[in-house]
Structure 1
């Protein structure tokens, strides 16, 4: 890889991290009984790259995750800042979901992290019995920055690898 290509890739990796860090919520796609469903949730992320969400069992996405532990998350650039709405910058991860139990040692630490980020509302939600803490562990990521410009994202490191147009067009 040339120095120019390496510099471009490092800039893209920075932009990818910035897109994610610019958001306090993630778009969440879960598998319903009949159809995929989309929602959103506030999140925190750990040093391993997993996302943590604290959600009510009254929400459809919580019921879906309890039934089927597969989900996708997405971060997408604002429409206003996008040059072309058909090619908005976006980052997606396919994830495996795991419900965290209150007996796990890092459960209170994660809720403290959520409370630090989102304020007293988390303290109030902690007292409600219908809220569940989920870990969404990314298993595969993709970062798209325009037409034919897509990259595999290594979830733990954020490193990018270009996906060729031929691979993108495979059925």
Structure 2
């Protein structure tokens, strides 16, 4: 088992999410049904930014419900084992940033620099909306038995989650699913 100091785990987490240009989004629709999608993403000053179209369900979901989950996950082709892909799951809240808001231009400049020509071209499309995503807490999995809880303003408070280990269910009997016949 890896015994890196927790600060090294945080640095590995930072490197992992900073190399990503997209993020998988988990949002809730008006019927409180979970919907998964993805969006190109910029990370700047500890926040994440997405610029998304009204044609996408997640845009409407975020305008109605600010709570979401972000998933950054290692590509299958790069994983040593698909059962232990490196991943970060972050709970976040979205804030819509209006086009006439102070800072909108600066964020969109950085978004275009980070994501290239298509992002720059989309900038003037009126059906696109900019959201700032502020993380609340998260988990970072580096592999088997290497799961960490992340908290704090920058998610830099790291705590190992491997005190339980695998093999025994942690569910109470009344919470376990019923056996099917």
TM over 0.5: yes
Match of 2:128 in 1: 131
Q: Does 1:30 align with 2:61?
A: no
Could you list the per-position Cα deviations for residues 3-43 of structure 1 after superposition, in whole angstroms to 9, with x for gaps in the alignment? x95x5323322221121122111111111235211111111
Q: Which runs of 4+ in 1 moved over 4 A?
A: 167-171
Could you list the per-position Cα deviations for residues 55-96 of structure 1 after superposition, in whole angstroms to 9, with x for gaps in the alignment? 001101101111111111011112122222112111111001
Match of 1:71 in 2: 68
Q: Does 1:92 align with 2:84?
A: no
Q: Distance in 2 between matches of 1:167 and 1:104?
A: 48
Match of 1:113 in 2: 110
Q: Distance in 2 between matches of 1:167 and 1:94?
A: 23
Q: Flag structure 1 segments of 5+ consecutive residues without an equivalent.
A: none
Q: Flag structure 2 segments of 5+ consecutive residues without an equivalent.
A: 172-181
Q: Closer, same or farther in 2 for the Cα pair 1:31/1:144, shift >3 Å?
A: same
Match of 1:55 in 2: 52
Give the TM-score of the pair, scaled to structure 1. Answer: 0.86
Greater helix fraction, Structure 1 or Structure 2: 1
Task: Determine which of 148, 151, 166 is the counterpart of 1:151.
Answer: 148
Q: What secondary structure is seen at the aligned counterpart in 2 of 1:146?
A: coil
Give the TM-score of the pair, scaled to structure 2. Answer: 0.82
Q: Distance in 2 between matches of 1:165 and 1:145?
A: 16
Match of 1:45 in 2: 43
CA contact under 8 A between 2:69 and 2:91: conserved in structure 1?
yes
